[in-house]
Amino acid sequence: MFLPGSISAYFLAVLLFSGCQNKASTHQPSANDATYIHTLNNAMAEAVILDGFTPPLISRMNAYTHIAAYEAAIATQPDFVSYKNQLNGLTYLPALTQPENYIAEIAVVRAFCRTAVYFTWRDYLLDTIEHQLLDTLRLRYNPTQMAHSIAYGDSVAAAILAWVAKDNYGETRKMSFYVLKKKDWSWELTPSQFMEAVEPYWNLVRPFCARLGLAVPRARPTGL
């Protein structure tokens, strides 16, 4: 379920921070603006590590969060293509109004954090970083720009989370634990921790890009 696009979303967001300009402000963005996405990613990493999420869950969280950030970043960038109607089930994203009051950094910080806190238990880590970053941005942009960009970030996050809710992940939480098949070819507990199977129903979660319902042929592994 790991989405290569989540990586591209991250780097394109960084690129936009370092390269895009907004006529509504006299501030000229520099390469240092990429520190916003770096700071957000550090907070996200700290939260998911402290929460103890497994790698599959972290990949899902990061993918959705960075898609939200990417979509918030490209609102006035025609050279960048939206994921809308490209990823399975993503059919709606809000249109930007008043582009003259849109600031990419503000919208991205808001969209990232409002999406990320949905997934994490220690949401106070992201709330704290969000408040710090937005307070810094308030020193550079006027109240109208702040309010409009925050509202746009909220609307992007809401659209992404509505999409998240339909990926079938919630249904997999209701399923039983994986039962060992005890066959030569089947998975079994492995040393040293002998943990239970991690996300045995991950194939039931909606893929980002693969055709829904696609049956991928695979050979059974031989016993060792």
Q: What are 69's two structure tokens?
A: 């950030």
For 88-142, what is each residue's pLDDT tens digit?
A: 999 999 999 999 999 999 999 999 999 999 999 988 999 999 999 999 999 999 9
Average pLDDT score over residue span 15-24: 40
Q: Which fold, 4-170?
A: Vanadium-containing Chloroperoxidase; domain 2 (1.10.606)
DSSP-assigned letter for residue 113? H
For 131-178, what is each residue's pLDDT tens digit?
A: 999 999 999 999 999 999 999 999 999 999 999 999 999 999 998 888
Q: Residue 216 CA to chain centroid, in angstroms?
A: 26
Domain parsing of the chain, residue ranges: 4-170
Measure the CA–CA gap between 163 and 27, rounded to whole angstroms.
34
For 21-40, what is each residue's pLDDT tens digit?
A: 343 333 433 334 678 889 99
Task: Give the number of residues written for the chain.
Answer: 224
Cβ atoms of 107 and 72 within 8 Å: the answer is yes
